[in-house]
Amino acid sequence: MKNVSIKLKFRRSVNPEKEGSLIYQLIYERKVCRITSKYKIFNHEWDEATGQILFSSLDSSRDSQLGMIRFNVDWELHQLCKIVDTLALSGQEWTFSDLTSHFNSFIDKDSSVFHFIQMQIQRKKQLGKVRSSETYQATLNSFMSFRCGVDLTFDMIDSELMELYEAELQNRGLTRNTSSFYLRILRTNYKLAVEKGLTQDCHPFKRVYCGIDKTVKRSLSFAKIKQIKELDLSLTPSLDFARDMFLFSFCTRGMSFVDMAYLKKKDLKNGYLTYRRKKTGQLLTVEWTRQMQDIIDKYPINPTQYLLPLILREDGSERRQYQNQMMKINRHLKDIASLIKLPVSLSLYYSRHSWATIARGKDIPLSVISEALGHDSELLGELKIRFFTPMVWKLRIRQGKRVRQQVPFMPDLLFVYDSRKVLDPLVEQIATLQYRFVKGGNHQPMTVRNADMERFIRAVDAMNNPCFYTPEEINPDMLGKKVRIVGGLLDGYEGCLQKMQGSRIKRLFVELPNLLTATVEVQPEFIQVLR
């Protein structure tokens, strides 16, 4: 781009109540060309000194719109630079008219992976899915770093690229679960792009790990909790505060930190704390104790509507305040762990998991533990019980808009892996958990062979677009050739292909006998027809 200057400019509106236009200004051989973009902002949203869009901390919805505008503008500026480079390398004379023509025909943001994911981030923010938007943003940042900021199209995503990305994540020291987390989000966006017709599905994620490894639950003994409580931290207020928030979570039956941060003063009435979980929306009630009150009394009254001194300003930055507090507290908890020679990286999660483990050891009814944790499936996780729910994508209406949402294929179906000795008390005390009994089996719970279950979970989690069927939905006309899978995640599995007229996609039936059947995509090179 020798002797070419490209800058973003703003043409102010004469009327301050109306929006002005963002303009791309190019200077070449002392000639000036201005291309008016389709993006508009208000006068007060432009910083003339830096040539940047300004954000308002008082209006998060407008900030979301401005973020989208800035991303689009940056992307188009990048395309302008590429066009100028291409014209310069051609060795032929070119004019601003040539550049403008190329620019108007070149813009195709839907083909940009970076732009596509950013649009999904903005969409999630508009739907109020803030946490989900943050995980998407983290994935985008990670992938952009891997690509050194160089954008690409969905057609350029293949198995080799995803293998290289997975290797890069592992070289950064990330765990397999963390790298799988990023890859699953990329896979979700890729599938959505396929659905929108932006690319043909070439199954680029078939050689990378997109599953979830079982992790060790983070819990402490009651003796360690007591040791943390009895520490003298009066000379280190920051550590003292972190310890108090940790203990408050423990005293409130393992309350999550996000729920603590958003507790309101009005939630405390008549000796009980009543709040709604951010994660599940479930309404929970906790008896208010002397220990909780002692923690509150240690600190000045919060000037906001919130109970704890975690969110101190109501200016649109509440979520940022909560996140900053969580990071600081977790950092200080690691220092506390060092003081008592605790061989773990202590964090707020330990409080929640510790309460569930200690409560179970003290024979507190499982129904109480379940209610405290806020969700039956979450209870199973806290008690280190493996479970699996077949999930499908459905269109749902939210706030008048159609949105894709992952929901259980059968709302009342949950596969749980453990012994009757462990599960019987759960089923007895928690009304929402019930066995499915074998017909004519004198109240004998239905079971699935371990090998069948493991193969089914592996197929459903790793393959693209599983479809589920109940036994009565399967008829002989759906069954195609008997095949054996040679290679891949289903190596050695024998079953039937699904008859699909006119389709190039091969789908295999994977069965849980008499319970559930899934069809999953398989690569033709893995299929061996049996005679």
For 255-265, the pLDDT digits (tens) are 889 999 999 99
pLDDT of residue 300: 93
Q: Please give the residue that has the higher pLDDT: either 348 or 396.
A: 348
pLDDT of residue 266: 95
pLDDT of 177 higher than 80:
yes
pLDDT of 437 higher than 70:
yes
Q: Which residues contact 79 (CB under 8 A, 6 or more apart)?
A: 103, 106, 107
Least confident stretch, 55-69, 349-363, 394-408: 394-408
pLDDT of 1 higher than 50:
no
Per-residue b or e along 73-92, where b marks 16 or more CB atoms closer than 10 Å to that residue's CB: bebbebbbeebbeebeeeee
Of 511, 209, 228, give the one whose Cα is nearest residue 354. 228
pLDDT of residue 214: 60
What is the C-alpha to C-alpha distance for residues 188 and 135, in angstroms, rounded to an integer? 12
Separation of first and last alpha carbons in the chain? 64
Give the number of other Cβ atoms within 10 Å of residue 56's Cβ.
13
Name residue 24's beta-bridge partners. 8, 35
Of 349, 342, 334, give the one whose Cα is nearest residue 249. 349
If DSSP codes are grouped into helix, strand and coil, which group holds residue 42?
coil
Residue 461 φ/ψ, nearest 5 degrees: -75, -35
pLDDT of residue 131: 78
Are 263 and 365 contacting, i.e. CB atoms less than 8 angstroms apart? Answer: no
Are 333 and 347 contacting, i.e. CB atoms less than 8 angstroms apart? Answer: yes
Laid out side by side, the sheet with 268-269 consists of 268-269, 272-276, 283-287
Of 185, 172, 170, 180, give the one whose Cα is nearest residue 139. 185
Tokens representing 146 are 């891997």
Are 116 and 154 contacting, i.e. CB atoms less than 8 angstroms apart? Answer: yes
Are 79 and 106 contacting, i.e. CB atoms less than 8 angstroms apart? Answer: yes
Mean pLDDT of all residues belonging to the chain: 82
Q: Which residues contact 401 (CB under 8 A, 6 or more apart)?
A: 127
Q: How far is CA 66 from CA 70, 165, 183, 216, 321, in A?
A: 6, 30, 28, 42, 21
Across the range 138-155, mean pLDDT stands at 83
pLDDT of residue 402: 67
pLDDT of residue 200: 86
Of 42, 52, 36, give the one whose Cα is nearest residue 13. 42
pLDDT of residue 365: 57
The number of residues in the chain equals 531
What is the C-alpha to C-alpha distance for residues 166 and 159, in angstroms, rounded to an integer? 11
Summarize pLDDT for 31-87 with one digit per residue, the tens: 888 888 888 899 888 988 888 888 765 666 677 678 768 877 887 888 788 888 888
Across the range 182-208, mean pLDDT stands at 88
Domains observed in the chain: 1-107 (no CATH), 108-213 (1.10.150), 222-367 (1.10.443.10), 385-447 (no CATH), 452-529 (no CATH)
pLDDT of 239 higher than 90:
yes
Q: Please give the residue that has the higher pLDDT: either 425 or 232.
A: 232
pLDDT of residue 502: 66
Q: Please give the residue that has the higher pLDDT: either 366 or 285.
A: 285
pLDDT of residue 311: 94
Across the range 312-331, mean pLDDT stands at 90
Largest CA distance in the chain: 91
Residue 188 φ/ψ, nearest 5 degrees: -60, -45
Question: What band does 381 get if pLDDT is binned at 50, 70 and 90?
Answer: low
Q: Please give the residue that has the higher pLDDT: either 223 or 129.
A: 223
Which spans in 298-393 are helix H?
318-339, 349-361, 366-373, 376-382
Among left, alpha and beta (phi > 0; psi -120 to 50; other), residue 51 is left
**Strand pairing category for 31-41 and 20-28:** antiparallel
Across the range 485-503, mean pLDDT stands at 78
Are 206 and 523 contacting, i.e. CB atoms less than 8 angstroms apart? Answer: yes
Q: Please give the residue that has the higher pLDDT: either 505 or 168.
A: 168
The sign one gets for the Cα dihedral 241, 247, 252, 258 is positive
Q: Please give the residue that has the higher pLDDT: either 25 or 503.
A: 25
pLDDT of residue 149: 73
Q: Please give the residue that has the higher pLDDT: either 336 or 196.
A: 336
